[in-house]
Structure 1
Amino acid sequence: MQEVHDFMKSCGQYFLATVDGDQPKVRPFGTVAIYDGKLYIQTGKKKDVFKQMARNPKIEICAYDGKGKWVRIQAVAVNDDRREAKQFMLDSYPELKKMYSADDNNSQVLFLKDVKARFHTFTGESRTVEF
């Protein structure tokens, strides 16, 4: 998990895919943290991405380092409504405090479970990490 976190964090941005009916939807994300032994992301409850994950929590993430390495992550996104988890993410990304607070009924953190992360390179090397 730490390796996946560190790679995603080093990329700065990653792309998160959800399903909306029969249509895939992809958008950039930038939040990732380890909290309480789990890998977390953050979004807003008012956003379509959150509504899509609520209907179908299976997601895929792709992060590319710009140097020929990337990770593709399959996971299930699980809501964590604990104030402490939300505050941890906001403290990890202080710039989010301009848009969210732990008590605003909009900020939402989700941990990833059933994670299968596949690291790849342009040279064809690949390996899988699961947690």
Structure 2
Amino acid sequence: MNKITEYLKSCGTFYLATEENGQPHVRPFGAVCEFEGKLYIVTNNQKKVYQQMKANGKVEICGMYKGTWIRVEGEVKEDTRKEARVAMMNDNTASLSSMYTVDDNLMTVFYFEHATATIYSFHADPEVIKL
């Protein structure tokens, strides 16, 4: 799990794809953390992406770093526990503290369940990691 989290952090910006009414939607994300052995992402519960993930938890992340790229595909579930939000904030204080506080009723976190990460390269076979 640590390898996936560190890879996504190295990307700086990675892209999350959701679906609504058969139409894919992709947007940039930048905060990720590992909590209780699971990969977590964060968003604002007032955004469309939040509603899309609640309606259909099947998502994909894609990011690129130093000539390699990663695809994380799976299903996300919301974690409403304060401890999960604290872990996200502690791991991403620089990027999140200007947007959220742990108890602002806006910050929400999702974790990947039943997911697979694949790291690709033009020079090597893909590395597949089950989450």
Shorter-normalised TM range:
over 0.9
Q: How does 1:67-82 map to 2 (within 5 A)?
A: 67-82=66-81
Matched, 1:43 2:43: yes
CA distance in 2, matches of 1:127, 1:74: 14
Q: Is residue 127 from structure 1 mapped to residue 127 from structure 2 by the alignment? A: yes
Shift of 1:127: 2.2
Check conservation: 2:75, 2:112, Cα contact below 8 A: yes
Separation in structure 2 between the aligned mates of residue 72 and residue 99 of structure 1, nearest angstrom: 27
Which sits farther off after the overlay, 16-25 or 100-109? 100-109
- Could you tell me the TM-score, scaled by structure 2's length? 0.93
* CA distance in 2 between partners of 1:8 and 1:99 (Å): 20
Letter of the 2:129 partner, please give it.
V
What TM-score results when the alignment is normalised by the length of structure 1? 0.93
User: For the Cα contact (< 8 Å) 2:57–2:75, is it kept in 1?
Assistant: yes
Deviation at 1:92, TM superposition (A): 1.7
Deviations 1:57-76 (A, max 9, x none): 000000100x2201111011
Q: Deviations over 1:38-74 (max 9, x none)?
A: 1111000001111100000000000100x22011110
Q: 1:87 & 1:77 partners in 2: Cα distance?
A: 18
SS in 1 for 2:97: helix
What residue in structure 1 maps to residue 96 of structure 2?
A: 96
Give the AA of the match of 1:123.
H
RMSD: 1.2
Deviation at 1:125, TM superposition (A): 2.2
Count residues with an aligned counterpart. 130
Q: d(CA) in 2 for partners of 1:124 and 1:88?
A: 34
Structure 2 SS opposite 1:87: helix
Distance in 1, Cα, partners of 2:92 & 2:123:
34
The answer for the alignment partner of 1:118 in structure 2 is 118
* In 2: Cα distance, 1:39 partner to 1:70 partner: 17
Aligned-pair identity in percent equals 38
Which ranges in structure 1 are unaligned for 5 or more consecutive residues?
A: none
Mapped partners of 1:90, 1:117: distance in 2: 23
What is the CA deviation profile of residues 6-47 of structure 1, one whole-angstrom value per residue up to 9, with x for unaligned ones? Answer: 111111110000001111000110011111121111000001
